[in-house]
Amino acid sequence: MIKKESREALHAFVSVAKEEFDGFAETISSQGYEKAVELILDAEKNGKRVHITGIGKPSHVAAYMASLLSSTGTPTYFLHGTEAVHGSCGQLVAGDVVICISNSGETAELKSTVAAIQNNGCKVISVTGNSESWLAKKGDACLFAGVGQEGGPLNRAPRLSVLAEMVVLQGLSVVLQVNRGITPKDYVKWHPGGTLGSLRENER
């Protein structure tokens, strides 16, 4: 049996989530993606690559986004947030672009990683909920992914900030996919298995 307090907490979370998401959605515009898209397309034009990283919960967002971006026309590699300073920066070459995710933009481990990334001659796209943070200022481009509350008990565990990070990066994947003119045949070629691996009737 679910406790009464638990039911109330769930309803409160959903209410806060809706309020925060609606407010965050108002901050998203195509103009905000211009610099990030320019960095990615310029890097690819010069034979360079895209990587994505984060510490803690954002590392899971990074892994998902590496998969989503790759599957929609932007080959993207996951860079381990802490292993980067222990040799994983070897996957980078000068001119690559690295997307770095941190809600606070002040995470100590990510600061070390960003320094290593930039010392290896790479550009940084910051994704943060704090537009005045260290990460925002260090980025060559910045995508804002900010909410006022996390929702849930204690208002601490990353919940709605993760949602904002995912949505702003999913938006980047949409902009890049359309910009590239990806067709259903392209998509199916990259997804030969499962229900995504066949053309729909209106796509034949």
Model confidence at 197, pLDDT cuts 50, 70, 90, reads confident
What is the C-alpha to C-alpha distance for residues 122 and 11, in angstroms, rounded to an integer?
44
Say which residues have a Cβ less than 8 Å from residue 126's Cβ, sequence separation at least 6: 100, 102, 105, 135, 136, 138, 139, 141, 142, 143
What's the chain's length in residues? 204
Q: In this predicted model, what pLDDT tens digit does every residue of 92-137 receive, in sequence order?
A: 999 999 999 999 999 999 999 999 999 999 999 999 999 999 999 9
Whether the per-residue pLDDT at 204 is higher than 80: the answer is: no
Domain residue spans of the chain:
4-203
pLDDT band at residue 192 using 50, 70 and 90 as cut-offs: confident
Map tokens 């691996």 to a residue: 197
In the predicted structure, residue 84 carries a pLDDT above the cut 80:
yes
pLDDT at 188: 87
Q: pLDDT, tens digit, for every residue of 15-48?
A: 999 999 999 999 999 999 999 999 999 999 999 9
Task: Report how far residue 166's alpha carbon sits from residue 58's, in angstroms, rounded to the nearest whole number.
Answer: 9
Q: Please provide the CATH number assigned to the domain covering 4-203.
A: 3.40.50.10490
Contact 141, 135 (CB under 8 A): no
Distance CA 196, CA 151 (A): 34
What is d(CA 31, CA 78) in angstroms, rounded to the nearest whole number? Answer: 26
pTM metric for this prediction: 0.96
Question: How does pLDDT run across 129-167, given as a tens digit for each residue?
Answer: 999 999 999 999 999 999 999 999 999 999 999 999 999
Using an 8 Å Cβ cutoff, are 99 and 66 in contact? Answer: no
Residue with tokens 């409160």: 12
Q: Please give the helix or strand (H or E) that residue 11 lies within, else none.
A: helix 4-25
* Residue matched to tokens 């600061």: 111
